[in-house]
Structure 1
Amino acid sequence: MEEESQDCVRVSDSSAEAMEELSITECRVVDQSLCTTDPPMRSLENFEAEIYDHEGKGAYRFQCPSAGLFQCSITGLVFKMEGEVEVLYRTVPWGRRLLAQSVKRPAGPLFKFRCLKGSVCQLHLPHCEICPGGGCDFLSVAHVTDDIIELIPPHKITETHVIINIYGFCDYGLIKDKDSPVFPIKAQVLLFYHPSDDPELEPVLHVLLLPRNVVLMKVQEERARRNGMRETFIETTSDCELTPDQIYSLSTDGYHKVTPKNKKFDNDKDYENYTTTFAVFLPAKVQKAELTLKKKKNIAWSILDLLSSLFVNHEYPWKGFYRYHAPVPAATPAKPYTFPGRDFIPKHRMALETRMGLLQPIFPRLQDHGVLIHEEREEVDSKSTKTLQNQALLDMVVRKGARAQEHLYQVLKEVDPCLVEDLEEQAV
């Protein structure tokens, strides 16, 4: 066992072999007041973590060769090592009930760690706050074990990271008070292109507004899992500053429809949701797409000539990206679109109210297409019976017109094909 006076936990090879989950049996943190100075250490070194599959989810492995400071190029985490060490880590969902009981909200991803051997004595968690006067004293670190959150005051806060001294590893993540001051944060605009299987339907550009310290690879992994690897991530200039809880609008050059027109930047939920903020419908053969994100009249982010860099595809959601370019045809006036599934919902409305199945796999797909917003989903969920929920969802979709009904039709074909086939066969 380690001695109480040590600055870092040391795990023996025999105990490491007993750890089958991505966790550690004994997790303690150092009293931050006991570490007022940092011992001399060589300069920061960047490393690219090895990606491996853990229970069907992407996780990261770092085999550290020596003492020093090492930064992960994927997550932004910095480890301070006393010697050779192997660390496994991944992101996990926040326990919203525990956060609510502590009157806290996330300020970064929650990381689960496992230290197989060696010693790690300091952890630097990336933050995205822009703190007036250089102070971010409203930030703290949550040390999560089972159903307990231990709040750790930082040892030090820099412009980019919150630093804590530790005895071992469990789950660590940045949090802040629910009523903490609202300042602009470092954020990013991410773009995902979703093609249409139907030539009569426009492809959709999904625009996500996210805090800068989300793990981009995790976003790509989750979007690929949800959409069956059909989306294309578009690499472009994404950095910006956004203010939490403020309303933003996305405008285009006039060739494209954007839905919704306005949306609140709700960054609290964006460390694991990764849902679409704005959906942009792209008419066929339009050469350019100019997007501008605004808060009232102030421009927060913009991009010109988007479509020339459209084709940036991925081989696998967490194994990097390769780029290819395709010629873009000249712009032509957009023709009116028809919707093959637009009659499906009115024709089968009564049957859908009683026979439509689980709505949970339907909701995220409709949100990704801009058909539903989070508040509308909550309204549907609030209904007391399954039939009332189905009726509420159908009412919302019908009110939004033919395009929304077509999206619901396509989603139902994907998640409940037997129901769609049966109803269409009855209509023949």
Structure 2
Amino acid sequence: MEMLEGPEGIVSHLAGNTSTSAKHASCKWHPVHSTPLGPKPVTLVLQELQEVRPEIDPDVLTEQTKYKAYLPGPGIFQCSETGLAFEVESEASIVYSHDTWTMHLKEADQKVWVPVGPLFNIWAQPGTVRAVYLPHFVCLEDVDISGCSIAHFESQQMTIQKPTKVMAFSAVLENPSFSLLGVVWRKLRSTISLPMHSLVLIFHQLSAANTTLHLYLIPDDISVKQAIEKQETSWNSQLIPKPPPFSPLFFGYRYHVSSNTQVRIMPEPHLPFCYKSPKEQQLFVEIYIRNMAEEIEFLITDRHSDTVVWRASLRSGDFSRKVSKTSSGAEFMKKHKTELCSRMGQLSSILLNLRVEDVINSEEEEEVEAQNTKQKKNQFLLNLAEKKGPKAQEKLYKVLQLKDPFLVADLENN
């Protein structure tokens, strides 16, 4: 394993992460030694990666999102949605998705290895990718990075590979063979845990009595964040953006949640900091505020050291933003039909999902595609769903929410 030093040898993630700037401020780089030695900081030089926006393809049957990235090459390109990055020497198309550690990491292996980043399933033509940059959330300050490895799952078997180099927010593997890949760390034998980058997510329950909040404390894993946002959206909640903790957190520690005013925190005012895969139910506390003041301060304290690791204020303005109204598919289609005719995109993918859901058949799909303009195709599909009734319109609405959530949100908010 190699740690590159100097201006030419260091690349850092700058895209696709909500707390990147905070990370850059708090972490150092460490060289790797063949035998464990005390960590020594090296110069950190930031080089912005080229951002690529993938095509996002939600699979209605498996409820799994696939990302399809076209890389014009040559260069190092980072996915704006996942933080995953690829180095290629020529143009390439790569498909990838998140997977679940608990489905693949056996119980015996869990005693030795700790997942410290998302698990990815990656498909690419052999030889097209020179290196893959797998995200991790370990803060490398004062950490011996010789414990960092990459787990590769193939045919239900795990092999451990040493990364070519370890960087502030990723582990790099050159000349990879693809299937399931993710960053793991060998468990420390001592009682000292690894310092982790983390996020605090706060959601306002819009349909609950008075002011009810859900507060999550999670590792800085974008796949977990996306899973929480999806779940909370289905509960009619609104995210209240707040900064991440200003100190690293540690797995296995319990963190105390408190406020400067009278609030109810349930089931208890503390959270264990742990890593759960995106498909698992994430831990949170519910905070009930009977009378919302102009400003309320919240704190999260490390119970081991009795030090504050996060502080934020909630203001009345945080709850006054315009939010989308929940409507039925039929109501949405009727109200926004004109806009949908002109603005609805990704039609081929929408039609495929509708056919999988048995909303339309192959002949009806061909009829839609036979129209000679985009607007006529959209209008034909909307008319077809309307003729089939409210259930068909509801299915189309759900597919459109998955395929183009920003369009749906824009129409519902205007």
- Aligned position for 2:64: 57
Pick aligned residue for 1:48 from 39, 49, 53: 53
For structure 2, list consecutive stretches of 5 or more residues without a partner in the other structure. 1-33, 35-46, 326-400
- For 1:192, the equivalent position in structure 2 comes to 203
* Aligned match for 1:120, one of 122, 125, 129: 129
Whole-Å separation in 2 of the counterparts to 1:312 and 1:57: 29
Instruction: Find out whether 1:234 has 2:240 as its counterpart.
Output: yes
User: 8 Å contact 1:115–1:169 — kept in the other structure?
Assistant: yes
Secondary structure of the corresponding residue to residue 106 of structure 2: helix
* Equivalent runs, 1:279-298 vs 2, <5 Å: 279-296=286-303, 297-298=306-307
Q: For 1:159 and 1:132, how far apart are their aligned partners in 2? A: 9
Structure 1 Cα separation of the partners of residues 152 and 76 of structure 2: 22
Do the aligned partners of residues 320 and 112 (structure 1) sit closer, same or farther apart at CA in structure 2, a change above 3 Å counting?
farther
The equivalent of 2:342 in structure 1 is none
Equivalent of residue 78 in structure 1, options 85, 109, 123: 85
Deviation at 1:268, TM superposition (A): 2.8
Q: 1:218 to 1:202 in 2, by over 3 A?
A: same
Which residue matches 2:39?
Answer: none
| 1:143 and 1:171 in contact (8 A); partners too | yes
Q: Distance in 1 between matches of 2:226 and 2:299?
A: 26
Tell me which amino acid in the other structure corresponds to 2:282. T
8 Å CA contact retained: 1:69, 1:78: yes
- The 5 A counterparts of 1:223-302 are 223-224=231-232, 228-240=234-246, 241-269=248-276, 271-273=278-280, 275-296=282-303, 297-302=306-311
* TM-score (structure 1 length as normaliser): 0.58
| Paired residue type of 1:244 | F
How far the C-alpha of 1:320 sits from its partner, in A, is 5.6
Aligned residues of 2:205 and 2:235 also touching (Cα < 8 A): no
Summarize the alignment of residues 22-421 of structure 1 with structure 2, pairs less than 5 Å apart. Answer: 44-54=49-59, 55-95=62-102, 98-102=105-109, 103=111, 104-115=113-124, 119-133=128-142, 135-179=144-188, 181-196=192-207, 201-215=209-223, 218-224=226-232, 228-240=234-246, 241-269=248-276, 271-273=278-280, 275-296=282-303, 297-310=306-319, 311=321, 319=405
Aligned mates of 1:270, 1:291 — CA distance in 2: 27
Q: CA deviation at 1:97?
A: 6.5
Give the number of aligned pairs.
Answer: 279
Aligned partner letter, 2:203 = F
**Partner amino acid for 1:205?**
L
- 8 Å CA contact 2:150–2:161 kept in 1: the answer is yes
Superposition deviation, residue 123 in structure 1: 0.7
Cα distance in 1 for residues equivalent to 2:301 and 2:311: 9
- Equivalents in 2 of 1:185, 1:60: separation in Å? 26
CA–CA distance in structure 2, aligned partners of residues 101 and 163 of structure 1: 26
Structure 1 pair 217/84, CA: closer, same or farther in 2 (3 Å)?
A: farther
CA contact (8 A) 2:127 2:175 kept: no
- Judge conservation of contact 2:102–2:277 (CA < 8 Å) in 1: no
Contact 1:232 1:314 survives alignment (8 Å):
no
Deviates more, 1:294-303 or 1:215-224: 215-224
C-alpha distance 215-269 of structure 1, shift in aligned 2 (>3 A) = closer
- 1:270/1:263 Cα in 2 relative to 1: closer, same or farther (>3 Å)? farther
SS at match of 1:137: helix
Q: Secondary structure at the match of 1:215?
A: helix
Q: Quick one: distance in 2 between partners of 1:279 and 1:100?
A: 31
Identity %: 20
- For 1:97 and 1:115, the matched residues in 2 are separated by 21
Please state whether the residue corresponding to 2:231 is helix, strand or coil.
helix
